[in-house]
Amino acid sequence: DAAHLGAALGAVHDALAQTFPTTTLSGAQVSRAMVERLDAAVVAAPALLPHRRALTALFAAVGAQRIPAQRIHGDFHLGQTLRVPVTGQANPWRIIDFEGEPLRPLAQRRLPDSPWRDVAGMTRSLGYATSASPDPDGPATAHWLHATRRAFLDAYCGGLTDARLALLLAYEADKAAYEV
């Protein structure tokens, strides 16, 4: 099922890229914006301060990249999906609610952004889903999360290169800072 979900997100991103303009973002600008959001999160939650250096390093890892950008979902997580009954090889996942992150202004939500923001939103959501397990910190849950993330990512992009992993980690950390 995670593979179907990754394929569904890939199909949505492909359709959005064909319908709306695409561009490229400077990794340095993306990294700076992520650090700014992190600094705002540190002010709101000072307990993050000891982690600031490590998180800033995650953001710096994308600084040299040219990051493809396009219209994206903007607030992608499990709550923005429906699993419907299908027959044959049809994908059972439907992605809904394309309004973007509700705390951002509408004009900002419409700007092209990296598809990795959506990917990171889902991988974080899968991590949150482990809290529903009878043993959220147990080895079976950790195995489920690893296998589910891998299936999702493999179906979405065919696997993680070093550059893709850097983007995923940076956008996951950026999402965490946004959630503070």
The per-residue pLDDT for range 108-151, each reduced to its tens digit, is: 999 999 999 999 999 999 999 999 999 999 999 999 999 999 99
* Of 79, 73, 159, the residue nearest 124 (C-alpha): 79
Domain of residue 166, residue span: 2-179
How far CA 70 is from CA of 13, 131, 160, in Å, comes to: 8, 32, 20
What pLDDT, in 10s, does the model give residues 11-51? 999 999 999 999 999 999 999 999 999 999 999 999 999 99
| Residue found by looking up tokens 């849950």 in the block | 141
- CATH number where 44 lies: 3.90.1200.10
Total domains present in the chain = 1
Q: pLDDT at position 89, please?
A: 86
Residue 162 has pLDDT above 90, yes or no: yes
